[in-house]
Amino acid sequence: MKALVLEGINQEFIYKNVENPVLETGEALVKVKAASFNRRDFWIKKGQYAGLKFPIILGSDGAGIVSEVKDETDKYWIGKEVIINPSLLWGDHEEFQSKAFNILGLPKDGTFAEYVKVPVSSLFEKPQHLSFSEAAAIPLAGLTAYRALFSKAKLKKGDNVLIVGAGAGTSTFAILWAVAAGANVYVTSGNADKIEAAKRLGAIDGVNYKEDDWDQQLLQKVSGFDVIIDSALGAGFAKHFNYVNPGARIVFFGGTAGNLPELNGRIIFWKQLQILGSTMGSPQDFKAMLSFIEDHKIHPIIDSAYKLEDANDAIKLMENSDQFGKIVLDVTE
Ligand SMILES: NC(=O)c1ccc[n+]([C@@H]2O[C@H](COP(=O)([O-])OP(=O)(O)OC[C@H]3O[C@@H](n4cnc5c(N)ncnc54)[C@H](OP(=O)(O)O)[C@@H]3O)[C@@H](O)[C@H]2O)c1
């Protein structure tokens, strides 16, 4: 099969023939129709990710058609159009992942190939209103945003929500999910065009976090926030205490702009705040996200699409974070 192989840190992807994956019990072979990039692929390519190994086929996100299963009992899946849950071996606890948890596309070969093998338990039927490219845009970032908003922050209709860094892949999904859930969504971004793009998705308004008084600007637009999704962290995180409502839930799953700054603990206990860490999501979260997408007939935002063999051009877009929405790879027509 053709695959994009990464042979070392800061190398270009090599588009070449490799052996087809060999199935083990409980596994399925998916003919990949489309895949998409995550920031994770970018960091791995730069060597800034734990557990690197080479050569590796990257790609956590993918959708396609099941072409083979190892076990007779899984025959139902053959020929089915699927979206793959990249959260592997989550384990038995809804609250946290198991020690064996890993993400498709390192250490196991991922979706940037004509075929990928995955556990049958990672297969979910593709929502019918989505194309393969749209389905492939969703898994990792969509799941992370879904768990953060619903399983962690318990988002309700009418909540005021702030999504920090609207341009982040996860943020685009957080905006889509929160708008569909009937929340009042506001964003921050370092880029005025991305604030406008967020408004086109249904956000009410936004402010530029590069302006010193962005917290005061927010306070002129809304009295306070019930939910904040902020995976940038850094100094800006402390400003949230200027506009949180009592009982607010602040969720984070990354630290794009640094670590947690010094926080005023008195505000945390007096306002009964919850500051919650989150990571990807469980199979139950993934299933719930797909039902939510079906119910609201949501389409993800795709910034651009490239052929698999043009992946070296595609990943360059991530250097400056200029994109709004996902970068998709069309693998097989
Ligand atoms: N734990 C998990 O399961 C998990 C899963 C997915 C992602 N993550 C982490 O979550 C973070 C977001 O990931 P991603 O792939 O969605 O996004 P990403 O593309 O890495 O995010 C880049 C965006 O971060 C925003 N940003 C940068 N500096 C900022 C600052 N000082 N204040 C506010 N926003 C700032 C920018 O938004 P604007 O362009 O709008 O300015 C930029 O476009 C990353 O740290 C990633 O590693 C964790």
Count Cβ neighbours within 10 Å for each residue of 30-58 and write b for 16 or more, e otherwise. Answer: bbbbbbbbbbbbbebbeeeeeebeeebbb
**Which atom in ligand 1 lies closest to the alpha carbon of residue 38?**
15
Q: Is the CB of 167 under 6 A from ligand 1?
A: yes
For 143-277, which CATH class?
alpha beta
Residues whose CB falls within 8 Å of the CB of residue 94, separated by 6 or more in sequence, listed in order: 151, 282, 284
Pocket test for ligand 1, best of 49, 214, 218, 231 (most atoms within 8 A of CB): 231
CA of 185 to the centre of ligand 1 (A): 18
User: What whole-number distance in Å separates Cα of residue 252 and Cα of residue 152?
Assistant: 10
Nearest to 156 by CA among 137, 124, 188, 183: 183
Q: Is the CB of 190 under 6 A from ligand 1?
A: yes
Pocket test for ligand 1, best of 170, 210, 256, 282 (most atoms within 8 A of CB): 256
Residues whose CB falls within 8 Å of the CB of residue 166, separated by 6 or more in sequence, listed in order: 172, 175, 187, 188, 189, 194, 195, 197, 198, 203, 206, 324
Q: Is the CB of 151 under 6 A from ligand 1?
A: no
User: What whole-number distance in Å separates Cα of residue 116 and Cα of residue 57?
Assistant: 9
What confidence tier does 333 reach under pLDDT thresholds 50, 70, 90?
Answer: low
Say what the alpha-carbon torsion angle 230, 160, 301, 102 is, to the nearest 10 degrees: 40
Specify the DSSP class assigned to residue 8.
S
Q: Per the omega criterion (within 30 degrees of 0), is the bond before 300 cis?
A: no
The domains of the chain are located at 2-138+300-330, 143-277
Contact between 188 and 205 (Cβ < 8 Å): no
Contact between 117 and 19 (Cβ < 8 Å): no
User: What whole-number distance in Å separates Cα of residue 317 and Cα of residue 308?
Assistant: 15
What are the two backbone dihedrals, phi and then psi, of residue 259, each rounded to the nearest 5 degrees?
-110, -175
pLDDT in tens, 198-208: 999 999 999 99
321 Rama sector, left if φ>0, alpha if ψ -120 to 50, beta otherwise: left
* Whether domain 2-138+300-330 has CATH 3.90.180.10: yes
Q: Is the CB of 172 under 6 A from ligand 1?
A: no
**Which atom in ligand 1 lies closest to the alpha carbon of residue 43?**
47
Q: Per the omega criterion (within 30 degrees of 0), is the bond before 107 cis?
A: yes
Specify the DSSP class assigned to residue 24.
-
What the block records as the tokens of 206 is: 């936004």
pLDDT in tens, 25-84: 999 999 999 999 999 999 999 999 999 999 999 999 999 999 999 999 999 999 999 999
pLDDT in tens, 122-170: 999 999 999 999 999 999 999 999 999 999 999 999 999 999 999 999 9
pLDDT in tens, 1-32: 999 999 999 999 999 999 999 999 999 999 99
The pLDDT assigned to 208 comes to: 98
Q: Is the CB of 101 under 6 A from ligand 1?
A: no
Residues whose CB falls within 8 Å of the CB of residue 229, separated by 6 or more in sequence, listed in order: 145, 148, 149, 153, 161, 162, 163, 164, 170, 171, 174, 251, 252
Residue identified by tokens 């019930």 is 226
Task: Indicate the average pLDDT of the chain.
Answer: 97
Q: Is the CB of 83 under 6 A from ligand 1?
A: no
The pLDDT assigned to 94 comes to: 98
